[in-house]
Amino acid sequence: MDFKKEEMIRIQQTMRWFGPNDAIALKDIRQCGVTGIVTALHGIPVGEIWPIEAIKARQEIIRNAGMEWTVIESLPVHEDIKKANGQYLQFIENYKISLKNVAECGIKVVTYNFMPILDWVRTDHAFENPDGSKALLYNQVAFNYFDLFLLKRPNVENDYSDEDKQIALAYGNTLSQAEKELLFKNVLLGLPGSKVNFTVEQILALLDNYKDIDNETLRKNLIYFLSEVAAIAEELGIKLAIHPDDPPFSVMGLPRIVSTESDLKMIFDAVPLNANGLCYCTGSLGAHPNNDLEKIIDDYGDRIHFLHIRNVIRDNEAIFRESEHLYGDNPIENIMEKLIVLIQKRKVSLPMRPDHGFLHSIEEGKEQYPGYSLVGRLKGLAELRGLEMGILHKLK
């Protein structure tokens, strides 16, 4: 690829911040060398309109720290919209107004997800690496034990084979009471930006609301939502970036519709507007062994509006864990080169954040959200920054 030096466009480096209640300060994030902040108005209840005054107030805080609010993550979608019942029509109208207010404030990328109830799930928030750092891990057998014998959701036995039940029970028999309680807490963490876990009563009630909703129904509801909001976003110059399912397969019997390449094709074909785009998360997409991450860039590069770069190691069919950003099962070097070439072709600096990171011993015991330690993310960012510079030099 022949690019002139003066034409090379860099990835925009950003980092997630959970707002004023985040124990990690903006000044610390700025010292990581990023120019953009990825955040949201977590204090506004899901479904309510984001007022212009609140958006501008948050922008002012970030600007005073020397950065810009580059990406909204997330402008959450109310559960009524996902279920297409209750006040879903009103909540869609509220979403449109929020998008208009966001555009009024000059923010151009809005990330969201369509995962029912839970935003993401891990069974272990502190898997110990050989060097003593801690990583996030998902163990399907551990989750099965949680689902079958801790949560005990109605009719759960119908979702598992006898062999799966026996394996899960055998796994559970190896756990102490404290380990069982920690597993339960890990799975039901709640939403990013929240420190409150779901209770058994809450999660069972929420699950009951989805008992008649399968993949086809949830996909239909997503496409209806997008048919309403994507055109507005297009007019406003806003890029909507849907986050893939994490993990990319069903949990607790819930439907999953943003897990595979075929899922993406159905979403983009149904609403063929550029504003209907993707948050390209190499960790979530890469946790599914059948996804070809390089092909996704080839096929949907024009729909990629935000980058989450991290890596995973799939120990076996039942276990995946988050790895170092450059070393895992995903070919990050090839992915990064394709993204850099895509950026030059599109002539746009895509925002990227180093997604998650190890918890290093220097930060253990400090208050922080799982996966969002500052040192771990800075290590990932530094490695990705170096990788980008090497590829840019190669392409010149």
**Catalytic residue positions, numbered:** 243, 281, 308, 355-356, 372
- Could you tell me where the beta strands, DSSP code E, fall in the chain? 12-16, 36-39, 68-73, 109-112, 124-128, 134-139, 239-242, 276-281, 304-309, 311-316, 319-323, 351-354
Rounded Cα distance between 305 and 73, Å, is 12
* Residues 6+ away with beta carbon under 8 Å from 274: 234, 239, 302, 303
For residue 335, which of 388, 261, 262 has the smallest C-alpha distance?
Answer: 388
Rounded Cα distance between 155 and 163, Å, is 17
What is the sign of the dihedral through the CA atoms of 63, 373, 291 and 1? positive
Phi, psi values for residue 367, rounded to 5°: -75, 125
- Amino acid identity for residue 148 in this structure: L
- Amino acid identity for residue 177 in this structure: Q
Q: Mind giving me the DSSP string for 368-391?
A: --TT--HHHHHHHHHHHHHHHHHH
